[in-house]
Amino acid sequence: MSEPLLALHDVTVEFAGAARPAVRGVTLSLAAGEVVALVGESGSGKTVTAMSLLRLLPATARPSGRALLDGRDLYAMSAAELRAVRGGRVGVVFQEPMSALNPVFTIGHQLVEAVRAHRPWSARRARERALELLELVGLPDAERRLRAYPHELSGGQLQRVVIAMAVACEPALLIADEPTTALDVTVQAEIVDLLLDLRDRLDVAILLITHDMGVVAGLADRVAVMKDGELVEQGPVVEVFERPAHPYTKELLASVVSLTPPTGDVATGSAVEPSPDAALVVEDLTVVYGGRRGVRALDGVSLHVEPGEVLGLVGESGSGKSTLASVITGLRPATSGRVLVAGRDLTRLRRAERRAARGRVGFVFQDPTSSLNPRATIGRTIAEPMRLHPGSTDPDRRVAELLDLVQLGAALRDRYPHELSGGQRQRVGIARALALDPALLIADEPTSALDVSVQARILDLFGSLQEQLGFACLFISHDLAVVERLADRVAVLREGRLVEQGPAADVLTSPRDPYTARLIAAAPVADPVRQRERHARWRAIAS
């Protein structure tokens, strides 16, 4: 057998002052043209292992062992040698494309800079290469994209730009760190398709770091599972998924929420009128940006949520989901139409009345880290809505009740967000949203940033709270499997218009609209055989 492109031997990474190593004794290899997925929960050591290869860790990190690329030890290289490897032999696709790009420079400037860092080319030749790269990653109208700034592109387009930068100098190895996290299912499928295409065309090896087992099933040849800094299992992806040997791998796979296979039938889709007691009623809502002849973010949207009901709202980025949520919470005015929360029309209220009405709406944000004040204790954070909307409730007693309700316990009330895990922070966010006993809870992608096992626990908690408290919920998500698990009904938005709504079991297994069918076909499942079949069907539908 030929030598592997990358071979890790007993790799250990220690941080100065830490009680134990972050990574211990990792041994792993990749062949040219192979995709190996490194999976595990946050803190398992996936990213630390990968970033140690290029020494992209803090100065306090001390890697040991051997990391051989083409037979040369990356850990033994000088700074100059390593600079030649970064972006040359090894490309990196970072998790958040917006933070990986400089917002003050054009896409073209940054691509040209990436090329010229490793090639002694003129600016003109490098610009020609930048155009080739954008065409390689499937971005239409490449000439115009070169002149664009990062904020002018969508999340999927930005990820394609980051991938173009990573392969600018035709690397032998591509490290992809959560390349599909927080992307819509159709964009996610496009990125997976792109990575497979690049693997085949460039014969590049891919080290994929992810917690999305559906993406692993569709992209990886082999999978390596990490827990607490150690490699606990590795093998061919079909073998590991069908016959996991380690209890932790079994737990990860059991935590994955999967979408029910479509039946092939067509749903009847009978319309249901809102009851007089509906928690939320949206009637013919239109929101136009830039004046009446501007962009229609929402165009004649009508939907409702009954008390005790969960309505799942799905659609791609730019479909209008977040705009609808901002109108319901009173943060954005409507151009026309009505929004009624607990019977009160928010579009007709005065400012003081509108602020009071906001107390009837709770909000759970997507990112539990950025949505919590890092300088406020957990108790103060949960009590904040009660200070803004004072009433008869004793804040201290209510905070203790809420902490018990979300299964955290009152002992955590004096801690700060950085002292909690991601799942615990999201529980705090849920407790804060429930502080005023809202008539309507809006949950905006509340599990997309969480590991699969943590996601499963948050979904169990959410379902239990909804059943216990009976609040109405507008659940916004791009994860159709999560929506199917929680929602009673589903509404599908596309480019500001509601294209389909009905019972979740009907819409997600027997869609009437072709757009809904495309969304469902793009949703990944944690089964390598089924996922490859689904991805082939998605390609046929998308083309």
Taking only the tens place, the pLDDT of each residue in 14-33 is: 999 888 999 999 999 999 99
pLDDT in tens, 227-238: 999 999 999 999
Instruction: Give every CB contact of residue 410 below 8 A, 6+ residues apart in sequence.
Output: 399, 400, 403, 404
Mean pLDDT across the chain, nearest whole number? 89
Total Cβ atoms within 10 A of residue 502: 21
Q: Is residue 1 pLDDT above 50, yes or no?
A: no
Q: Is residue 244 pLDDT above 70, yes or no?
A: yes
Q: In what order do the strands lie in the sheet with 72-73?
A: 23-30, 6-15, 61-69, 72-73
**What is the structure's pLDDT at 271?**
58
Half-sphere exposure of 161 (CA within 13 A, CB side): 29
Per cent of the chain over pLDDT 90 is: 56
What does 332-360 look like in DSSP terms, one character per residue?
S--SEEEEEETTEEGGG--HHHHHHHHTT
pLDDT in tens, 405-434: 999 988 889 999 988 888 888 999 999 999
Q: Is residue 215 pLDDT above 70, yes or no?
A: yes
Q: Is residue 2 pLDDT above 60, yes or no?
A: yes
**What is the structure's pLDDT at 268?**
54
**Residue ranges per structural domain of the chain:** 1-86+172-231, 90-170
Give the bridge partners for 23, in sequence order.
13
Per cent of the chain over pLDDT 70 is: 97
**What is the structure's pLDDT at 182?**
67
CB 303 within 8 A of CB 498: yes
**What is the structure's pLDDT at 230?**
96
Whole-prediction pTM: 0.82
Sequence letter at residue 443: A
Q: Is residue 74 pLDDT above 50, yes or no?
A: yes
Q: What is the separation of C-alpha 373 from the centre of its chain, rounded to a whole number of angstroms?
A: 22
> Among 156-165, 261-270, 419-428, 506-515, whose mean pLDDT is lowest?
261-270
**What is the structure's pLDDT at 397?**
92
**What is the structure's pLDDT at 316?**
85
- The Cα 448–Cα 367 span in angstroms is 8
Q: Is residue 327 pLDDT above 50, yes or no?
A: yes
pLDDT in tens, 360-379: 899 998 877 788 999 999 99
**What is the structure's pLDDT at 299?**
94
CB 466 within 8 A of CB 390: no
**What is the structure's pLDDT at 311?**
96
* Angle at the Cα of 133 from the Cα atoms of 127 and 137, rounded to 5 degrees: 150
**What is the structure's pLDDT at 384?**
92
Of residues 264 and 359, the one with the higher pLDDT is 359
pLDDT in tens, 245-275: 999 999 999 888 888 876 666 555 555 789 9
The dotted CATH code for 1-86+172-231 is 3.40.50.300
